[in-house]
Chain A
Amino acid sequence: MATLAGMQKSPKNGISEQTVDMSFTSKAVPAFIDKVNSHSLTQVLDLGPVCSENINILAHLIKRLYVCDMFSHLARAKKRGLESEPWWQQMDYPSETFDGILLWDLPDRLTDGDANEAGRRCYDMLKPGGMVMACAATETETNTGVNAYVLQKDFRVTFRVQPHLHLPLHTRKTRDLLDVLDPLKSVQSFLFRNRLREFLLKKE
């Protein structure tokens, strides 16, 4: 089975190992943008690793794009030995601020308790009817390297290794993932041949 680890093999003896093409065309991201872009003052929060391509694509489609790099924040806290501090305080936006939140695979980097806190925070920050886009690596993924999900104009997604980010990996079965993101409700989900899963969740 193809795994995200396939993207991260480094050359041995000067010979590059064959890497698995893990790219795929996102179905959740265009659906997410279509759903949140119902008015001219749309506000969306991106919690994923900072990525120039994503900012340029999303900021041209959405009126106000908020970027709060929680991956970087978590990695910095871990590096400083501040893992026990309430990391979610960084997500200090007022209630009902956003039409949508791009969570990416942040839950994969959080314990059940923290992922549940992230779900509750997202729920609080979303306007009624607001959407969350989340994704998750295959349940059997073992490589803990962090990747940015890099968007192309046609919503093709490629992976780019973020060597400066070192975070633990907590893969979950779909049912468990949706449980920890409660009270957000899953409205659509997609499974790709690279075993990556995408989810659209909603604040009802």
Chain B
Amino acid sequence: MLRKSKKYNNESDAEDAVKNEGLKENKMSSTTTQSGPAEKTMIGEDISIKGSIHGRGNLVIQGSIKGTIDLDNNHLTVGPNGNVEAEINAEHVTIAGHLTGNINAMGKVEIAKTAVFTGEIKAKRISVEDGAFLKAVIELERESKPQSLAKPTIPITKGPISKGPVPEKEKSL
């Protein structure tokens, strides 16, 4: 359910949020669609939403969301205070807060060191900062067929060992 909004980045954010507040819970499919491509809608820390969000603008979440988020070719950001449990479809996704769910991103997923993510990520590219906590399944766009990678290797031994000779290549260094 929508509650009082507290923080907005700028005037347009505030306007978008005001529009959102006029809607009934569980349906926000026409709330954030007025934003231009460079504009973004912010859902503030004190806002909690259960339901589906659909729009054509960028969205920043600092509050709590449970449901589905479909932003087509736009950017979703889960801020450091954001807490999201959702199925997500967006062009780019940035996570700095808590997110549980599945992400389908046409572009890049960025995970900051403050993020806690549990779920599945399908994306073209991904970046993850050291310190982020992940329990995830990751599928990136990849080349058609995996190639054989193993170069000839020089094992110390076959089977359990206590300690073996140093491989020639290493030993000679």
Where the two chains meet, the residues of A that have a C-beta atom closer than 8 Å to any C-beta of B are 27, 30-31, 33-35, 37, 42, 49-52, 55-56, 59-69, 72-73, 76, 90, 148, 155, 160, 162, 164, 173-175, 178, 185-193
Contacts and interface: CB of A to CB of B under 8 A. Distances in A.
Given A50-B130, A190-B167, A191-B167, A31 B160 contact: no
Contacts of B128: 50-52, 55
B170 A164 contact: no
A76 B167 CA distance: 38
A31 B130 contact: no
Given A50-B134, A69-B134, A162-B130, A191 B164 contact: yes
A193 B125 CA distance: 35
A190 B129 CA distance: 30
Contact of A67 (B138, B163, B167): B138
Contacts of A42: 146
B160 A52 contact: no
B140 A59 contact: yes
Interface residues of B, number: 42
A102 B128 CA distance: 18
Contacts, number: 132
Interface of B: 113, 125-140, 142-143, 146, 148-151, 153-167, 170-171, 173
Contacts of A64: 137-139
Contacts of A55: 126, 128, 138
Given A62-B146, A68-B134, A187-B158, 20 more contacts: A27-B153, A27-B167, A35-B150, A42-B146, A49-B130, A61-B142, A61-B146, A66-B136, A69-B135, A160-B130, A164-B113, A164-B130, A174-B163, A175-B163, A178-B161, A188-B158, A190-B154, A191-B163, A191-B166, A193-B171
B156 A191 contact: yes
A186 B161 contact: yes
A27 B154 contact: yes
B133 A76 contact: yes
Contact of A178 (B127, B134, B138, B160): B160
B146 A52 contact: no
B131 A67 contact: no
A49 B155 CA distance: 26
B162 A188 contact: no
A127 B127 CA distance: 29
Given A27-B154, A30-B149, A192 B135 contact: no
B135 A34 contact: no
A162 B170 CA distance: 27
A63 B142 CA distance: 8
